[in-house]
Amino acid sequence: MRKSDLILLAMALTAGAVVFVLNMVFQETGASVKVVSGHEVYGVYNLRAAVEINIEEGGRINVIVISDGKAEMRHANCPGGDCMRQQAISMAGQSIVCLPNKILVMIEGGGDKLDSVTY
């Protein structure tokens, strides 16, 4: 490696670190949880409330729990269960998806902040 290669690598790593830090600083906690089942909005819930949402449609079962300002998929009878292994979400723009059961849980609100793509 030449000196110019090392300088380029250092600049790229620094730029990545700056974008990461800015994203963490400017990302806001969301205000509500929107649950979509199929193509229909199942409900919109306050992120500050303690709620358990049971969705049972056509043999598909999903349980979404909202507590302590976070939403998580507590139970799903889908094959694989990948949605239950996703971390709890609390920031605007985050989502949990259960593709086999056609469930989308997303955090909305929290202000009009920039996303990491616009930096």
Using one digit for the tens of pLDDT, what is the confidence trace for 9-40? 999 999 998 887 776 666 566 789 999 998 89
Q: For 15-19, 30-34, 47-51, 110-114, which range has the lowest pLDDT when averaged over its residues? A: 110-114
pLDDT at 34: 95
Handedness of CA 94, 50, 99, 41 (dihedral sign): negative
The values of phi and psi at residue 10, to 5°, are -65, -40
In whole angstroms, what is the distance from residue 69 CA to residue 15 CA? 31
* pLDDT classification of 109: cutoffs 50, 70, 90: confident
Global pTM value: 0.69
- How many other C-beta atoms lie within 10 A of the C-beta of residue 38? 13
Residue 21: the pLDDT is 79
Average pLDDT over residues 82-96: 91
pLDDT at 103 over 90: yes
Backbone φ, ψ for residue 18 (5° rounding):
-65, -45
Q: How far apart are CA 25 and CA 42, in angstroms?
A: 32
> In CATH, what is the architecture of 32-108?
Sandwich (2.60)
* Band of pLDDT at residue 110, cut at 50, 70 and 90: low
pLDDT at residue number 92: 86
Write down the pLDDT at residue 119.
Answer: 43
Give the residue among 28, 29, 65 at the shortest CA–CA distance from 49: 65
- Residue 93, amino acid: G
| Closest alpha carbon to 71 in 56, 55, 86 | 86
Contact 55, 35 (CB under 8 A): yes
